[in-house]
Structure 1
């Protein structure tokens, strides 16, 4: 192995540190989604007010993400562009997440609403300070085409641990042997989650290394005197990114695959309860939790290693297309998998349908790193990993919010009766069809979008050689 290849390999210690950071990146939103359910049931929040508490911070997030990406890209410090924000952001995120859920049912609804809203906005700031530089750091930890995929595969595997554990929060919080009340369970579980996020979230900032930015030119001066000038530069950066064809394909495909999946993600719970067990929650038991957990297990230990291997052999674009086709087959198998006569069949489609999400973020994160090289070639310094990451995840979040809205619309269209003890056969048949057709169609369109993606390994290596010839190699 040549000295250059060794330099491009990410040491295992750094992969572990980045993986634990990705675990935090998944744990916080996963836990937040679970606890939002108890905001209504345990704390008695009006559903409309709870919806506002879920949506307003997302709008705030849409503003802060690109700004944080710009700040991270242009920061000058002896610890690098990303790492100080990661450490501070992890600490803030963990502390504020724990405080966010220290609600009391004895308080008035208005008090709890404003308390939760204010701390949600502060939490959003802290989480943005952590997440945006963290994503940008991952893009710059190696310049090797295939090592980027291996790094993201390792990180995504670690991230799946959150999705193995979090579904069981439903069971733990509601267990009277553990907690006297559900609101007590939420308060204590939130403190555990917050503490874990601090301990694990600071590790990437302490141990991971990105590009050496000490000699990076053309960076903005970050101070209040230049605030309007910097906003203009941020807008210019966003316009440059919007003209990056390969990146737009990545965003479009992600929007389709991820949000097609998100739109129907909650349907599995309804189908298991009302189709398989005819509305009997006692018989339903922990089957929904096991379904979610086994999906994460299959993604982590089956799908991601296979995707990484296919990517090495056939390229990232082809790996995405293959994975997405397999996921469409998996979605189709759900028709037979949700079987009232044999609940064990629900695990049958999981290995195949998991190729959709498992392949998506492993490959898209790696390909976005390649796109950052193309942007530097076209637009020069500073490199924009933070801004690219912010805009990519902003698209994900916007689509996710849209998916949550459309999910309710689909339930209404198929005739699902909220609050009813049972559902009609016709409604459940339509819901099962929607559960298959929606993600299969969005996945098929995503394949079409990615068909013209042209950043092959050869093209990426050519760009890399041109960049090194222009500004030399840069490692921290």
Structure 2
């Protein structure tokens, strides 16, 4: 095994800047966890059918996935005095906070159809705002350092800070259903969403304020200015940018290393998302016999333990990746999470409810390792792409990556709702669910993420970018454009 290269002083990112970038991860995770974790109130509070809840969650995510690549392309092509990423991060954070608060301000006493369409339309608007913030923020992280290991350290810090959101998100259901605070779950949802919206807007603007971009566009030449002026009509300009956008999408999807990362993330993340509500159903209706408050309490304990454990996982996987490589570190983290999923079958026990917390530290390796390693690996892919195409396309790669994830998330949420119906679950039965329903809920909760994670390990086995190759690519890029001081000018 080759000795790891030493990170040069000029390649290191100041810890304060890593924290600033990590605050974006906190907002990103808070909004993602909130909209996923609060959707159960559409069933338990507003009385919507679980399958309809799944569809209501899937449709906006599909829309979100479609606009992600467009936002990445726009960010890559932007020329402004504030940079390619920062203006969108600033505006997107504010719009995301406002739209999320409005999303859950649904009036009571309406029909199921009203709630469905209110949520679908409102969440579509929310996801537009969320993408304006998230796509440029993700892209910004890929360009902050050219160093192979410093990228992993950056992603470790941002993932660590992002996990703070998951310390509180497991308690969202408990907060919304806690009767001393709120008379109904719907009232709890409105108040919680307002709080989340304010936090997202205030914290989300900080990366735009305190970070500086490494790459800037080179000044326009007379030839490029003439070409731009030639496209004076709206039609000509739209046609030109559409062709560029489609060509960029095609080129990005032709990168085999990148596709392997997308497939692995799709499987690990969306395998978890598909059964994200199943754990709450199993704990409430199997472990606690239908007692929502007690079940939500223990689900909160397990979720918080998992979030706390993720902090240690991030430290460990960040360190491990610098010793054995990013790909092998992925094998370790995903494999340990599979052990955690498997032992849920034995630990979710009505006679010993405290056992629900034992699988949480092992399951934390799944997403904790995934989002520490994937961002660093994609940054390496972006360098390889620049070597081939002579373009810096962090926005396109980041947005296509999340496009793949979100398309899968839309399918996973819809599939999850139908899976709940397939098990025979009926909220009206409360604690009197049939034995068959409880067994099927438990099987889905264990097998779906376990199998998906196993396939992900197989998919990533062919990922070709080693530390040695990444260093060779960097040296060639620096030879081509020179080892420039910050910021680096790109065409």
Secondary structure of residue in 1 paired with 2:74: helix
Aligned-pair CA distance for 1:62:
2.4
- Match for 1:90 among 88, 93, 99? 93
Aligned-pair CA distance for 1:449:
0.9
Partner of 2:169: 166
Secondary structure of residue in 2 paired with 1:80: coil
User: In the alignment, does 2:83 pair up with 1:80?
Assistant: yes
* 1:160-239 correspondence runs (5 A): 160-215=163-218, 224=234, 225-239=236-250
Aligned-pair CA distance for 1:285:
5.2
CA contact (8 A) 1:43 1:104 kept: no
Secondary structure of residue in 2 paired with 1:164: helix
- Two-structure CA RMSD over aligned residues (Å): 2.7
Partner of 1:336: 346
* 1:353-432 correspondence runs (5 A): 353-381=363-391, 383-420=392-429, 421-432=431-442
Q: Higher mean Cα deviation, 322-331 or 17-26? A: 322-331
2: distance between equivalents of 1:324 and 1:448? Answer: 11
User: In the alignment, does 2:289 pair up with 1:278?
Assistant: yes
Aligned-pair CA distance for 1:206:
0.8
Partner of 1:259: 270
Secondary structure of residue in 2 paired with 1:213: strand
Mark the CA change 1:266 to 1:119 in structure 2 (over 3 Å): closer, same or farther: closer
Mark the CA change 1:418 to 1:45 in structure 2 (over 3 Å): closer, same or farther: closer
Partner of 2:319: 309
CA contact (8 A) 2:50 2:417 kept: no
* 1:102-117 correspondence runs (5 A): 102-105=105-108, 116-117=119-120
1: distance between equivalents of 2:50 and 2:467? Answer: 49
2: distance between equivalents of 1:157 and 1:85? Answer: 24
Partner of 1:123: 126
User: In the alignment, does 2:22 pair up with 1:13?
Assistant: no
2: distance between equivalents of 1:101 and 1:232? Answer: 39
Aligned-pair CA distance for 1:184:
3.1
2: distance between equivalents of 1:409 and 1:45? Answer: 13
Partner of 1:434: 444
Aligned-pair CA distance for 1:35:
3.2
2: distance between equivalents of 1:82 and 1:390? Answer: 13
Mark the CA change 1:124 to 1:263 in structure 2 (over 3 Å): closer, same or farther: closer
CA contact (8 A) 2:54 2:415 kept: no
Q: Higher mean Cα deviation, 155-164 or 415-424? A: 415-424
Aligned-pair CA distance for 1:107:
6.3
CA contact (8 A) 2:51 2:414 kept: no
Partner of 2:356: 346
Mark the CA change 1:200 to 1:402 in structure 2 (over 3 Å): closer, same or farther: same
Aligned-pair CA distance for 1:417:
4.9
Secondary structure of residue in 1 paired with 2:39: helix
Q: Higher mean Cα deviation, 435-444 or 114-123? A: 114-123
User: In the alignment, does 2:453 pair up with 1:443?
Assistant: yes
TM normalised by structure 1 equals 0.92
CA contact (8 A) 2:143 2:215 kept: no
Mark the CA change 1:308 to 1:238 in structure 2 (over 3 Å): closer, same or farther: same
CA contact (8 A) 1:23 1:160 kept: yes
2: distance between equivalents of 1:141 and 1:57? Answer: 31
1: distance between equivalents of 2:483 and 2:105? Answer: 49
2: distance between equivalents of 1:409 and 1:115? Answer: 21
Aligned-pair CA distance for 1:121:
2.9
Partner of 1:325: 335
Mark the CA change 1:425 to 1:46 in structure 2 (over 3 Å): closer, same or farther: closer
2: distance between equivalents of 1:169 and 1:365? Answer: 28
Aligned-pair CA distance for 1:411:
3.8
Q: Higher mean Cα deviation, 165-174 or 412-421? A: 412-421
Mark the CA change 1:283 to 1:235 in structure 2 (over 3 Å): closer, same or farther: closer
1: distance between equivalents of 2:348 and 2:330? Answer: 27
1: distance between equivalents of 2:41 and 2:353? Answer: 27
Partner of 1:467: 477
2: distance between equivalents of 1:75 and 1:102? Answer: 35
Aligned-pair CA distance for 1:50:
5.0
CA contact (8 A) 2:67 2:128 kept: yes
2: distance between equivalents of 1:82 and 1:233? Answer: 19
Mark the CA change 1:190 to 1:362 in structure 2 (over 3 Å): closer, same or farther: same
Q: Higher mean Cα deviation, 112-121 or 336-345? A: 112-121
1: distance between equivalents of 2:462 and 2:186? Answer: 51
Aligned-pair CA distance for 1:42:
3.9
CA contact (8 A) 1:49 1:113 kept: yes
- Match for 2:466 among 456, 460, 464? 456
Mark the CA change 1:183 to 1:388 in structure 2 (over 3 Å): closer, same or farther: same
1: distance between equivalents of 2:59 and 2:13? Answer: 39
